[in-house]
Amino acid sequence: MTMRTARRAGKALGACAAAALLALATPAGTAQAAEGVLSVDGTEHEDPSGCYRLGDFAPPKVVNHTDEVAWVWSGPDCDGRVTQQIDPGASAVGRGRSLFIE
């Protein structure tokens, strides 16, 4: 092995070791539900998290008493495009087919 090859190998090992240490030192993100109550047409969801389907025919009333923004989507499985944002403490008529809250 030449000196130049040894230096490259050392740099590569050093970079890998630094990446491994950084990965171990960084706390893994944990999924948390919004805190509070999300009401969709009178059905209450305590500490909601994830995707909720909205009515297919009549737009539902959404009341967001959580600490997170609720995002209304055009598709039935929180797909398509975001059509509306319902802020914490707000209520609105959901103009879409599903709602996502973290």
Distance CA 73, CA 80 (A): 6
Q: pLDDT, tens digit, for every residue of 57-94?
A: 888 999 999 999 999 999 999 999 999 999 999 999 99
pLDDT top residue among 34 and 4: 34
Which stretch of 23-27, 37-41, 57-61, 69-73 has the lowest confidence by average pLDDT? 23-27
Q: Is the pLDDT of residue 2 over 80?
A: no
Is pLDDT above 60 for 27?
no
Residue 54 near residue 96 (C-beta atoms within 8 A) = yes
- The pTM for the full model equals 0.68
